[in-house]
């Protein structure tokens, strides 16, 4: 049986209130709101955009969805997890302030912001996966303490996965910093001796006793390191470094397995809305204003993350008349879709239903 994907046409030139009503129409069509109970914690997973980024989902585009959710439960909140790299979104205080700068303030969105993995990304729970790539995923705690999730994604290209859409938002976006490290690297972190202040914080938090004292700096013992990422999280000076995994297939497969762990937690109480508006070459972690690589398409939604991403890619390619994602980075973005289908995350076979009324 094919998965249903709902589409409504929209462009960024339209007034924000109109886009909000269209997004609400897609959300209503999915039927998730009927499953929300008054005592449920409802996480709206979103990317608030890096500083100076302009492509991210705008807060006023989602107010209609929020209004619908608040009719069922007052325990809704916007959320993301802290970044692996050091920057404005690597701790909750600066992360929330940046979200405010981008307009996600209480007077606009009417619900609070909770960064799901805590102050510096240490709050996580392990979920068994037993997959080909991942045995246990490290998911930001607040997501696993929630009852319902609405996954709101801005579709973009991506330097490591080719495409960044719902699967990435779910798998990478819901992972704690340790989980992001797990997906991004196959080697252990290292310490830059010139940046190390020898403060001892990493020594205190390392659960494996893998950090040893040297003269004026610390070192990581590879034989003892278990790759948990705690040192990366607690270092305030950016002295702990990681090596990015250059194998896109491995990264995409890990990402899909992490996404499956989150989706399985929510069961039938999760939905996915992809905004195919100002699709850019790079993801919203890029701290700059990027041009669109294709004309705006609209908003698509589904209960199936693989189907909604497949439909999003198909719509972009059809609109562009070419593979606009591969033009950015010559990466086989289909890996995450094919592998996601293989492990039971969803189906690539979908029925596209275009909505005309909103």
pLDDT, one tens digit per residue, over 128-184 is 999 999 999 999 999 999 999 999 999 999 999 999 999 999 999 999 988 998 898
Question: What is the architecture of the domain spanning 3-183+247-354?
Answer: 3-Layer(aba) Sandwich (3.40)
Rounded distance, CA 92 to CA 21, Å? Answer: 30
- Determine the Cα–Cα distance for residues 355 and 22; give it in Å rounded to an integer: 9
Q: How far apart are CA 116 and CA 119, in angstroms?
A: 9
Query: What is the predicted pLDDT for the residue at 279?
Result: 98
Q: What is the DSSP string of 13-81?
A: TS-HHHHHHHHHHHHHHHTGGGG--TT--EEEE-----TT---SPPGGGSHHHHHHHHTT-S-EEEEE-
pLDDT tens figures, 268-310: 999 999 999 999 999 999 999 999 999 999 999 999 999 999 9
With vertex at residue 87, the alpha carbon angle to CA 85 and CA 89, rounded to the nearest 5 degrees, is: 90
In this predicted structure, what is the pLDDT of residue 166?
98
| Per-residue exposure over 77-88, b if at least 16 CB sit within 10 Å of its own CB, e if not | bbbbbbbbbebb
- Would you say 43 and 149 are in contact if contact means Cβ atoms under 8 Å apart? yes
The CA–CA distances, whole Å, from 169 to 45, 216, 241, 285, 356 equal 8, 40, 24, 12, 27
The greatest distance separating any two alpha carbons of the chain, rounded to the nearest whole angstrom, comes to 69
pLDDT in tens, 20-79: 999 999 999 999 999 999 999 999 999 999 999 999 999 999 999 999 999 999 999 999
pTM of the full structure: 0.90
Third-level CATH fold of 188-241: Alpha-Beta Plaits (3.30.70)
41 exposed, middle or buried (CB, 10 Å; 0-12, 13-18, 19+)? Answer: middle
How far apart CA 273 and CA 302 sit, in angstroms, is: 7
Q: Which of 183, 180, 154, 179 is CA-nearest to residue 166? A: 154
Mean pLDDT over 4-17 rounds to 98
Strand-strand pairing, 42-45 and 76-80? parallel
Q: Indicate the domain borders of the chain.
A: 3-183+247-354, 188-241
Tokens 């802290």 found at: 82
Kind of pairing, strands 124-128 and 136-140?
Answer: antiparallel
Q: Backbone phi, then psi, for 48, in 5-degree steps? A: -80, -10
């Amino acid at each position: 049986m094919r998965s249903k994907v709902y589409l409504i046409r929209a462009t960024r030139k339209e007034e924000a209130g109109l886009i909000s009503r269209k997004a609400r129409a897609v959300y209503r069509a999915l039927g998730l709101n009927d499953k929300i109970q008054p005592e449920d914690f409802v996480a709206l997973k979103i990317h608030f955009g890096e500083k100076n980024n302009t492509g991210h989902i705008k807060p006023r585009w989602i107010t209609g969805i929020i209004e619908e959710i608040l009719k069922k439960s007052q325990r809704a909140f916007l959320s993301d997890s802290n970044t692996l790299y050091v920057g404005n979104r690597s701790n909750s205080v600066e992360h929330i302030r940046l979200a405010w700068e981008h307009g996600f303030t209480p007077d606009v969105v009417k619900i609070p912001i909770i960064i799901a993995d805590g102050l510096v990304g240490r709050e996580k729970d392990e979920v068994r996966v037993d997959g080909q790539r991942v045995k246990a995923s490290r998911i930001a705690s607040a997501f696993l303490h929630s009852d319902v999730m609405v996954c709101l994604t801005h579709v973009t290209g991506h330097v490591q996965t080719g495409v960044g859409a719902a699967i990435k938002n779910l798998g990478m976006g819901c992972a704690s910093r340790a989980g992001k490290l797990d997906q991004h690297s196959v080697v252990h972190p290292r310490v830059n001796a010139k940046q190390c202040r020898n403060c001892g914080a990493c020594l205190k938090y390392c659960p494996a006793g893998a950090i040893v004292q040297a003269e004026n700096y610390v070192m990581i013992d590879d034989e003892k390191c278990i790759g948990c990422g705690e040192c990366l999280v607690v270092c305030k000076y950016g002295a702990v470094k990681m090596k990015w995994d250059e194998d896109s297939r491995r990264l995409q497969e890990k990402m899909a397995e992490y996404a499956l762990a989150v989706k399985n937690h929510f069961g039938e109480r999760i939905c996915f809305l992809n905004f195919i508006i100002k699709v850019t070459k790079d993801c919203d972690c890029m701290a700059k204003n990027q041009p669109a690589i294709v004309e705006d398409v609209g908003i698509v939604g589904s209960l199936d993350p693989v189907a909604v991403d497949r439909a999003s890619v198909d719509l972009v390619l059809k609109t562009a008349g070419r593979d606009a994602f591969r033009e950015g980075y010559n990466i086989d973005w289909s890996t995450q879709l094919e592998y996601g289908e293989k492990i039971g995350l969803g189906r690539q076979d979908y029925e596209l239903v275009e909505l005309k009324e909103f």
